[in-house]
A and B are shown apart, each in its own frame.
Chain A
Amino acid sequence: MDQVIVFLQALLEQTGAAHFSFGNLVMIIIGATMIYLAITKHYEPLLLIGIGFSCIVANVPGPPDDVPGGQAISALLYVVKEGGLFHYAYEGVAKLIIPPLIFLGVGAMTDFGPMIANPKLVILGAGAHLGIFVALILAKMLGFTLAEAGAIGIIGGADGPMAIFVTVKLAPHLLGPVSVAAYSYMALMPMIQPPVMKLLTTKEERQIGMAQSRKVTKLEKIAFPVVIAIIVNLFFPPVAPLITMLMLGNLLKECGVTDRLSKTAAGGLMNVIIMILTVAIGSTMAADKFLTWQTIEIVVLGLIAFMVGTGSGVITAKIMNLFLKTKINPLIGSAGIASVPIAARVSHIVAYKENPNNLLIYHAMGPNLAGVFGTAISGGIMLALIGVS
């Protein structure tokens, strides 16, 4: 009988069940919540399904690693190990191959017309980035180095690829928690932003209607990526790879003679990258690495950055209204944090609920797209001042 018990114990040791911890359970619940929100609430399913699923699998312990003194690692982390499929996926993130490709796809999907049509709204793209610096200062107060604080602050830019780019340059050891915080909050913006937006605006302000902007010609849309690429490469070389790819993708879309390329960049290529990226991010959410005080601090600081950024965008719009003859709806200010098009969609939905005749999506896309440049510029200046090339 004793032999049978010893045999069963040995068998159990070879499975993951013996290594299951309370932290794993917490992370599985977090992953399941992400999948639930994606399916039932439609909160950015393209991001949350992959992150949530890989978070769950990363927290199902497997047998002990085959290295001496190895820990129990999940099946997913086995494929993340060197030589495995997702090892290269994660390397693609860490070596800054995937972020520029994402920007290529985003550029091929994006119509920059709203930003070109109403240039004064680009100010909101800068105003909504106060959250970056509030988080940076708070991170420094908590004892992070300036480079780490910069990487944490950039979460407030709500721009996943840019957050990855800046973090790899400034504090690569924080890539996991920073990318998880950035992408998770981007997906959860429909929950985070509306309370802040409503708190800072009156019902009358939320109901302000906006007139249609001028029509943007094809010539302007073709000139835009070329002009912006020149400006960014000239003045912000640290972030030029991302913005250059964004502009290349947009030129492929707007020139009208490279449909095959723009459809591939915006479609198949983008979908493959999203799958790789979400699994690479989710696989960093193993409980032993994720449930630490440092990660919790980063997650909380990221949330503060998002909320302050949302608020500062709305307040910037209200300040602009003091000087504008034709008032703008301050709800579009919150779209100034970069996450395209999630933030613009949130502005639209909040305004639509107040007044079903008020359709702000096109107007909100202007500051939303400017926010992409705002984050890139903030990140570029940060890299230059901290001394990273």
Chain B
Amino acid sequence: MNAFIPDTMQGALLLSAIDFFLSFFVISFIGVVLAGFPLLNRIGAWVTKPSKAKAAASKASEKPAAQPPASVPGGDDIPPDDLAVIAAVVAAMIGDHRILHIERQARGAEWSSAGRMAQHHSHTPRDR
């Protein structure tokens, strides 16, 4: 061993102080690096942009643009395909029905909603 710190009580205090504060510094450095990660998405978007535009241009030259989807009552920005799947699942579960209202979950509360749903499902009676 080529110790930088003497094997004494003072050495133990010195080692602890250096290690603790250096750990803080290094962890903070990792935090700063991680804070810069969203920049990667911009770079990624910038790198993939030309190829996407190229693909779109070649697609446009091959066939006419597709018809825009029809507006969905009550479904704000929910795609019609999703609505069809939801309706099919509801029909399979409860039979004939009419959708009166449909909306997205409150944005920013998906984790809480998922947690609540898991909690509610834990009380659901199950066939044994």
Contact = CB atoms under 8 A, between A and B. Distances in A.
Contact of A357 (B7, B11, B116): B116
Contacts of B7: 145-147
Interface string A89-125: 0000000000000000000000000011001101101
Nearest to B113: A359
A31 to B, nearest CB: 33
A370 B24 CA distance: 11
Tell me the dominant secondary structure on chain A's binding face.
helix
Contacts, number: 131
Contacts of A374: 23, 27
Interface stretch (B50-58, B65-73, B77-85, B103-111): B103-111
Interface in B1-45: 1-9, 11-13, 15-20, 22-24, 26-35, 37-38, 40-41, 44
A231 interface: yes
A212 interface: yes
Contacts of B116: 357
Interface in B97-121: 108-112, 115-116, 119
A129 B20 CA distance: 8
Nearest to A150: B15
Given A122-B30, A377-B26, A382 B112 contact: no
B30 to A, nearest CB: 6
A61 to B, nearest CB: 38
A185 to B, nearest CB: 20
Contacts of A326: none
Contact of B34 (A115, A132, A133, A145): A115
Interface stretch (A18-26, A33-41, A191-199, A216-224): A216-224
A126 B27 CA distance: 6
A223 B40 contact: yes
Classify chain A's interface size: 35 or more
Contact of B44 (A122, A214, A219, A386): A219
B20 A122 contact: no
Task: With a 10 A CB-CB cut-off, give which of A120, A146, A231, A373 has the most chain B CB atoms.
Answer: A146
Contacts of B108: 211-212
A146 B11 contact: yes
A133 B31 contact: no
A145 B8 CA distance: 8
Contact of A373 (B9, B11, B27, B110): B27
A381 B4 CA distance: 11
Would you list the 8 A-B pairs with minimal beta carbon distance, nearest first? A133-B16, A119-B34, A140-B12, A387-B3, A359-B115, A126-B27, A387-B1, A387-B2
Interface of B: 1-9, 11-13, 15-20, 22-24, 26-35, 37-38, 40-41, 44, 108-112, 115-116, 119
24 contacts: A115-B34, A119-B37, A122-B27, A122-B30, A122-B31, A123-B28, A125-B27, A126-B24, A136-B16, A140-B9, A140-B12, A141-B9, A146-B7, A146-B11, A146-B12, A147-B1, A216-B37, A220-B41, A223-B37, A235-B26, A356-B119, A378-B23, A387-B1, A387-B4
